[in-house]
Amino acid sequence: MTDALSLVDDWGPEKIVVVSHRRTGMKGVLVIDNTARGMGKGGTRMSPTVTVGEVARLARVMTWKWAGVDLFYGGAKAGIAADPASRDKEAILRAFARALSNEVPREYVMGLDMGLTESDAAIIQDELGDRGAAVGTPEHLGGVAYDRLGVTGYGVAEATDAAAQHLGLPLAGSRVAIQGFGAVGSAAAQRFAELGTTVVAVSTAHGALHNPTGLDVGDLLAARDEHGDHFVTRHYDGTPLPLGSELTVDCDILVPAALQDVICRTTAQHIKARLVVEGANLPTSPEAQFLLAERGIAVIPDFVANAGGVVAAAFAMDSRYSGFRPDTTTIFETISTRLRANTVTVLDEARRRETTPHTAGRTLAEERVRTAMRSRGRIPLA
C-alpha cells in the first residue's frame, strides 16, 4: 500500500482525499497536486486497479500539462476503484460525488478520463445539483463533447505536424503507427489522414493491425463504429499482429495513444520511428526517453502533445455556468495554435540545453509553477 506522505515533495500533493461508501462498495481518491496557478483540474477515472500512487502520478502530469500549455489551472486527478461496466456504476458515481462535496466544485472540478462517459459527468452534476461540478457533459446539456470532437487526438496530430516540420520530416507521405484506436488514437488517425500521412498500424485491446502500404482510416472507423474494437484488428486490408508489435513496425512516426508505461528500455531499442509523439499519459519510461535521444529519435512529451484535451477543458470550465456553448471552431484553432507553438518551443529548448524534450519541457513548466508559488508566498522569494 502506498504511504501518502511518501508522495509529498517540493511541488505537492497539497491534498489527498480517500473516500469510501460501504453500501455501494465505492472506494476512491482525489489528489490535488499543485494550485499555485489555479484551482485543481484534471480528469476522473474509473478502473478496478486504481491506486493512490497512480492518481498522484497523473495529478502531477496535470500540473505540468496546465503550466506547459500556459493555462491557469492546477494539477489534480481523481480515481474510483470500480469496474466501469458494473451495473452499480451510477450508484458508485453518486456516492463518490457526495463524498467529495466539500472539495467539488470549490477546489476540484470532475472531468472525463478512462472509464467515464459524458453521461457520467451529467450524473455528477445532477448528484451535487451544480453545473459547475463536472465538465465533459453531453452537448445537449451545454457541454464540450471531447470524444465526439476528438480534441485530444486532433491536438496530437497538430503537435506531430509541428514537430515533423521542425525536424525536417515532411508529414505528408510519412508512415505513422498508432497504438490505441480509442478516442485519442482514432481522432489522431483521422487528422493524420487529412494531413496526408499514411497510417500503417493501429491497435486495440484485442491486438494490432499492420499494412506497410497504408490502412484505410475511414474504413477502420466505420468498422469500429459498426462492429466494435475487436473487429478493427481483423480488418481485411491489414495483417493482424500481437498486441505491442505496433510499437516496433517500420514507420517514420510512432504515436503511443493507449496506456502508460508501454515503452521501456527494451522496447525503445527496437523502435524504428524517427519521431515518437506521446498521445497517452506517461507511455515512455525515463530510461527509454534517454535511450531514444541517444539513438537520435525525438520524443514529444505527453504534457505537450496531448494537451488538446486540457485546452478544450479550459473552454468548458469557463462555460460551466453560461447559457451559451463554447464555439468549437475557436477551440480547434486554439488547440492548433498553442500545441504547435509549445512543441517548437520545447524542441528548441531541448536543443539549447542539450537534453531530452521531456526534461526541457518539464523545466519550462517547473519555472512557471515555481514563479507562481513564489508570488503567492508558498516558497521563499530568494
Active site residues: 77
Report DSSP state, residue 274: S
CB within 8 A of 1, min separation 6: which ones? none
Rounded CA-CA distance 378/229 in Å is 48
Coil, strand or helix at 336: helix
Amino acid symbol at 104? V
In eight-state DSSP terms, residue 355 is S
Question: Is residue 152 part of an annotated ligand binding site?
Answer: yes
Determine if residue 65 is labeled as part of a ligand binding site.
Answer: yes
Residues 291/269, Cβ–Cβ less than 8 Å: yes
Task: Check the annotation: does 356 bind a ligand.
Answer: no
* Total Cβ atoms within 10 A of residue 320: 18
Closest CA to 63 of 108, 25, 12, 111: 12
Question: Which regions of the chain does DSSP assign to beta strands (E)?
Answer: 15-21, 26-34, 40-41, 44-46, 74-80, 108-109, 175-179, 198-204, 207-210, 239-241, 253-256, 275-277, 298-300
Annotated binding-site members for NAD(+): 152
